[in-house]
Amino acid sequence: MPSGSRRNPRQLRSQASITIREMELEDLAAVFALGERIFTADRWPNLYRTWDEFELIQIFGTDTETCLVAESNDQVVGFALGTLIEKRRSAWTYGYLLWLGVEPDLSRSGVGKRLVNRLTELFIAQGARIMLADTESDNLPAVNFFRRQGFSNETEHVYLAKNLTQHPEYVRRRRALSHSTSDPTPTDAAPAHLPPGGINTGEDPTAGRPHEHDD
């Protein structure tokens, strides 16, 4: 997804006021590019999900009404992506803030707060009784930001990882794949089918997201 040209964010403070509006299809490239600059693996090594264009498109496709952008001079400088969760056998509807990002140069400008406030209003209008957000426990700027927005009842989660490369089934499938690719002649054995993404991708299974990066 191309990022396109972007102006110097420092110039935005003294220019037109920032507008919070519903995300549109044309905003996807700019939102993805901004998130890619914010949610990087080197800055957030312990994430349980990664920021990518597929996640963005999926959220936008299913929850368009709760996807917002902050715009200044026709440039996207922030975004908030939310979804509604309805649990079975429960009268409660939850509003879940999945991702929140703001141009780093506009830190502490109030853009993040305005995005959260507008998303809160949308959740309430759609019947949500509780609003959820999550971030890494050691991401203190994000934790403090959410506390200032009225979030509480903090609960820490433990995410575990298991290396499957020594598992007998993994080894069997890898050997079967190696055999099928090295021997082009037909065999009685059906080729092994690997999960999407193949094997040995080098990806960290604990990778994920801190979805807040601004005051």
The tens digit of pLDDT for each residue in 39-51 reads 876 555 455 567 8
Long-range contacts, 87-92 (Cβ 8 Å, 24+): 92/129, 92/130
Q: Does the pTM exceed 0.85?
A: no
The tens digit of pLDDT for each residue in 67-83 reads 999 999 889 999 999 99
Q: Which of 25-39, 61-75, 108-122, 139-153 is predicted least confidently? A: 139-153
